[in-house]
């Protein structure tokens, strides 16, 4: 008599399992939609609306990988699907946003700078896919594509008016080219994957989160610019700190081959 009940429950469990497997991909689709929406609004000249969609894509992209690991639903399909979505959200979308906002007066030079950003994001993601799982999980090798996309997004959100003349648009080249080159560089960027958010004394973390939310609500433009450029500047400050404090003979004392550095997220 127990057999029919077991059979009756099995399809429900299978449907539930299939739904769990679809959950990370639904977040990936959400990230892709944010990139698409950014492109649409950027083409319409609504930059203040377009730029936040890259920020939404970053948040959603951070969630899909964690949900996949928490539910045990990681798969090769999910990794490839996530990479394709990232090319749209963190490669094409910020490039079109930057071009429509400030690179357009530069003509072909602006076209070339935008394409360089897209190509660098694609190379960055492809390099991570072949290095993942065999490198130091504390660092990214090269600037992660979401952080690189956050630089033009935060800048445009802080100053949505844009630029109309050739001379005014020249500094925009640095905003696009520098993150593009950093994405394909071998400079180590902190991944923050080793932060212990499950420690017993988590009250300071909650207070910091509350402070961050309050500041974001009060001065979103300023906070996002500080976060975007602060992550970039912090990497070079850390690099300079290590070089200054590197003593003679330090490399001999630590001559064992160190683990290679790489990305630890899904980017």
Q: What is the pLDDT of residue 248?
A: 54
* pLDDT at position 54: 97
Mean pLDDT of the chain: 82
Domains of the chain, CATH where assigned: 12-194 (1.20.120.1760)
Displacement of CA 90 from its chain's centroid (Å) = 7
pLDDT, tens digit, 9 for 90 and up, residues 62-100: 887 778 777 777 777 888 888 999 999 999 999 999 999
Per-residue pLDDT reduced to its tens digit, 100-134? 999 999 999 999 999 999 999 999 999 888 876 65
Residues 188-232: tens digit of each pLDDT? 888 866 555 555 556 676 787 788 888 888 888 899 999 999 999
Q: What is the pLDDT of residue 190?
A: 84
Cβ(259)–Cβ(133) below 8 Å: no
What digits encode the pLDDT tens for the residues 150-202?
999 999 999 999 888 898 899 999 999 999 999 999 898 888 665 555 555 56
Q: Looking at residue 267, what is its pLDDT?
A: 52
What's the confidence (pLDDT) of residue 208?
78
Contacts of 70 (CB under 8 A, 6+ apart): none
- pLDDT on residue 238: 84
pLDDT, position 150: 95
């Amino acid at each position: 008599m127990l057999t029919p009940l077991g059979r009756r429950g099995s399809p429900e469990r299978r449907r539930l399992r299939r739904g769990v497997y679809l959950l990370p991909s639904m977040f990936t689709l959400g990230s892709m939609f944010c990139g698409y929406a950014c492109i649409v609004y950027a083409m319409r000249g609504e930059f203040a609306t377009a730029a936040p969609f890259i920020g939404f894509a970053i948040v959603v992209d951070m969630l899909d990988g964690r949900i996949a690991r928490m539910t045990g639903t990681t798969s090769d399909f999910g990794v490839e699907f996530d990479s394709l979505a990232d090319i749209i959200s963190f490669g094409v979308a910020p490039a079109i946003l930057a071009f429509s906002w400030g690179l357009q007066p530069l003509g072909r030079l602006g076209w070339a700078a935008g394409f360089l950003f897209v190509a660098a994001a694609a190379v960055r993601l492809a390099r991570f896919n072949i290095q993942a799982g065999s490198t130091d999980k504390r660092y990214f090798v090269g600037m992660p594509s979401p952080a690189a996309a956050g630089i033009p997004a935060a800048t445009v959100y802080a100053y949505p008016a844009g630029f109309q003349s050739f001379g005014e648009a020249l500094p925009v080249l640095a905003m696009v080219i520098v993150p593009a080159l950093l994405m394909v560089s071998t400079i180590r960027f902190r991944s923050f994957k080793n932060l212990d958010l499950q420690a017993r004394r988590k009250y300071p973390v909650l207070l910091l989160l509350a402070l961050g939310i309050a500041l974001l609500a009060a001065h979103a433009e300023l906070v996002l610019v500080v976060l975007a450029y602060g992550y970039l500047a912090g990497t070079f400050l850390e690099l300079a700190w290590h070089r200054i404090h590197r003593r003679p003979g330090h490399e001999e004392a630590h001559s064992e081959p160190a683990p290679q550095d790489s990305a630890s997220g899904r980017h």
